[in-house]
Amino acid sequence: MEVDIVLHSSRTYRFHQALQQSLANVTYLSNLSRKELVKPLGVEAAIKSETASLLWDCGESSQSIRMLQDVVGLPNLNQQNLMPGKAGLLAELVCNTSLHCGHD
């Protein structure tokens, strides 16, 4: 599945601090999502979660937290095919929120 490969590529780029390449990947996936080409695949949450992680790595903590909140609030979250699960998202959201609040 192309989406899975692009998501994995984005995570790998982020791991190696190649944020520009990761940004290109999430932009590509976000464009697909906006055109509703990936909706039937059930990967919207995975795309938003990866985008939130990239935003966090780029220092955009507020945007990252808001995006994770959107992911947690997706009505079809339990039907997503590529997702760490609601517990994982909530843990990431709490951790990021705690770190963000600590910097203010």
Query: In a 3-state reduction of DSSP, which class is residue 84?
Result: coil
Q: Tell me the mean pLDDT per 10 residues along the chain, length 104.
A: 90 95 96 81 88 92 88 83 67 72 56
Give the pLDDT score at 104. Answer: 47
Q: Is the pTM of this model over 0.85?
A: no
CA atoms within a 13 Å half-sphere pointing along the CA-CB vector of 81: 10
Cα gap 62→64, rounded to integer Å:
5
Q: At what angle do helices 86-103 and 61-72 cross, to 10 degrees?
A: 150
Give the pLDDT score at 101. Answer: 64
- State which fold the 2-103 domain adopts: 1.25.40
List pLDDT tens digits, range 27-50: 999 998 888 777 778 888 889 999
- Pair of tokens at residue 93: 């959201």
Domain boundaries, the chain: 2-103
Taking CA atoms, 23 is separated from 9, 16, 67, 69, 85, in Å, by 11, 13, 15, 20, 23
